[in-house]
Structures are given as C-alpha cells and as structure tokens.
Structure 1
Amino acid sequence: MKRFILLVLDFFYQPFAKLMPLQTFRYLACGSGNTAMDILLYYISYHFILNEKPVHFSFLTISPHIAALFMAMTVTFPTGFLLSKYIVFSESNLKGRIQLVRYFMLVGICICLNYGFMKLFVDYLHIYPTIAKILTTIFVVGFSYLTQKKFTFKVKEA
C-alpha cells in the first residue's frame, strides 16, 4: 500500500516540482485526503448519526458539534499518523514509539485548538457548524504541519 500511495503521489508531484519540495507536496496531499475524510465523517456524524442532537451521559452533556468532532477523530487519528510516519516524514530516524507519543501530544493540542475554535465559531460567532469546522481545520493544519516537521517526525542528528 505504501508503494502504491508513493507512486501515485510522485506521479502527481511533477507539475508542482518547481513550486514546492516533495515532502511538502506529500504532506498537502495526504493531509488533504485525511482532512477531507475528517470533514466528511464530521458531517455524517453531526447530521446523520447524532441528528444534530446533544449526547447525554449521566454526568455530562456534549453538544453535537463537539461530539461529531471526536467521532471523526477516531478514524482520522490513526490514518493521519500512519500517513505521516510512512509517507510524508519517512526519513525521520526517531523511534516509532517516540513518534507516536509525540503525535499523540500534537493531536491533544490540536484537539484543544479544534475545541476552542469550534466553541468560538459556533457558540459565540454563530457560524454554521460545518463551515466552522472548515475554518478551524485551516488554522489547525498549519500548526500541525510545522509541529510534525520540526518535532514529531524530525530527523535526529547523528
């Protein structure tokens, strides 16, 4: 599967070769695919699984736009890690468990950013939830790329 993904990405990279490095293109392609899946899963979760209704627990009620956020992440967390580790940042020489721990920490920060932006956009600025999710994604993706490149999957000097 890795070979196939790399073949496809490298084929489509040619027109962009003068505009950006291969790693950046791979990140954008993999990240875009994972992000599109995240938004689709968010939309399906929010509208069809949750029916735009809050999730009630005996001790907590979670608004539907926040519950859908977490539901989508149960799929996009592992796919995002695997794409980053094996496709985008495969030259990283950090041990896999270190990468996973760092990725988990990064995702934790991204969850907080997602939560904060979604609360701001939906609850305070009254932006439609799916549009708010797209805006939130733009901010979080930029932060995530820089963090993954410089911290999570960095190449350790020998």
Structure 2
Amino acid sequence: MRQFILQIIDFFYRPFAKLMPLQTFRYLACGGGNTLLDIVLYFIMYNFVLHKQMVHLPFLTITPHIAALFMSMSITFPSGFLLSKYIVFSNSNLRGRIQLFRYFMLVSACILLNYVFMKLFVEYLHIYPTVSKIFTTFFVVCFSYLTQKKFTFKVKSSEKLNLF
C-alpha cells in the first residue's frame, strides 16, 4: 500500500519539482488528503450525525461544533500518523513509540489550537462553523508541518546516534 501511495504522489510531483522538495510535496498531498477527510467528516458529523444539536454528557454539555471536531479527529489522528510516518517522514530514525508519543503531543496542541480558533471564529466572530473549520485548518496545518519536520519525525544525525 505504501508503494502504491508513493507512486501516485510522486507521479504528480514532477510539475512541482522545481518549486519545492519532494518531502514538502508529500506532506502537502498526504496532509491535504487527511485534512480534506477531516473537513468532510466534520461536516457530516456536525450536520447529519449531531444534527447541529448540543451533546449532553453526564457532567458536561458540548456544543455541536466542538463535538464534531473531536469526532472527526478520532478518525484522522491515526490516518495522519500513519501517512506521516510511512509516506512523508519515512527517513526518520526515531523509534515508532517515540514518534507516536510526539505525534500525540503535537495533535494535542493542534486540538487545543483547533478548539481556541473554533471558539473564536464561531462564538465570538459568528462565522459559520464549516467556514471556521477551514480557516482554523489553515493555521493549524502550518504549525503541524513545522512541528512534525523539526520534532516529531526528525532525523538524528549519525554522530549523535553513536554517542548513546
């Protein structure tokens, strides 16, 4: 499956080869696909599963736009990790469990950023939830790419590896 995904992405990379490195293109392709999945799932969860209604839990009531956010992320978290690990940052030499833990920390920060931006856009600026999700996604994707490249899936130099 990995080879099939790489062949498709790399085929479309050719026209962009002079504009950006292959890794950046792969991130945009995988991240874009996962983000599109997230937005579609969010729209479905918000409009058709939750019917724009509050979610009442025993000790907490959650607004539908926030509940839909968490519902869509429960699917896109594992798909995003697998795409990042095996397609985009496959040259990382960090252990898988360290990558997963760091990815979890990154996603936690992204959830917090999503929550803050969604609250701001929907409840204070009164922007429609799906449009707010698109704006929020733009900011969070930029943060996510830089964090994944420099922290979650970084490549340790061989000199540092030999010291330990």
Q: Distance in 1 between matches of 2:11 and 2:57?
A: 49
Q: Which amino acid aligns with 1:30?
A: C
For 1:75, the equivalent position in structure 2 comes to 75
For 1:86, the equivalent position in structure 2 comes to 86
Q: Residues 11-30 of structure 1 correspond to what in structure 2 (within 5 A)?
A: 11-30=11-30
Q: Distance in 2 between matches of 1:26 and 1:75?
A: 20
Give every structure 1 segment of 4 or more consecutive aligned residues whose post-TM-superposition deviation is greater than 3 Å: none
Q: Does 2:56 correspond to 1:56?
A: yes
For 2:5, the equivalent position in structure 1 comes to 5
The alignment partner of 1:93 has SS state of: coil
The alignment partner of 2:154 has SS state of: coil
Alignment TM-score, normalising by the size of structure 2: 0.96
Q: Distance in 2 between matches of 1:57 and 1:3?
A: 43
1:157 Cα deviation from its structure 2 partner: 1.2
For 2:102, the equivalent position in structure 1 comes to 102
1:58 Cα deviation from its structure 2 partner: 1.7
1:71 Cα deviation from its structure 2 partner: 0.3
For 2:121, the equivalent position in structure 1 comes to 121
The alignment partner of 1:18 has SS state of: coil
1:133 Cα deviation from its structure 2 partner: 0.1
Query: CA-to-partner distance for each residue in 1:61-118, whole Å, 9 max, x for gaps?
Result: 0000000000000110000000000000000000000000000000000000000000
Q: Which amino acid aligns with 1:141?
A: V
Q: Distance in 2 between matches of 1:79 and 1:58?
A: 30
User: Which ranges in structure 2 are unaligned for 5 or more consecutive residues?
Assistant: 159-164
Q: Distance in 2 between matches of 1:51 and 1:76?
A: 21
1:40 Cα deviation from its structure 2 partner: 0.1
User: Cα RMSD between the aligned structures?
Assistant: 0.3
Q: Distance in 1 between matches of 2:108 and 2:5?
A: 27
Query: CA-to-partner distance for each residue in 1:26-59, whole Å, 9 max, x for gaps?
Result: 0000000000000000000000000000100121
For 1:33, the equivalent position in structure 2 comes to 33
1:130 Cα deviation from its structure 2 partner: 0.2
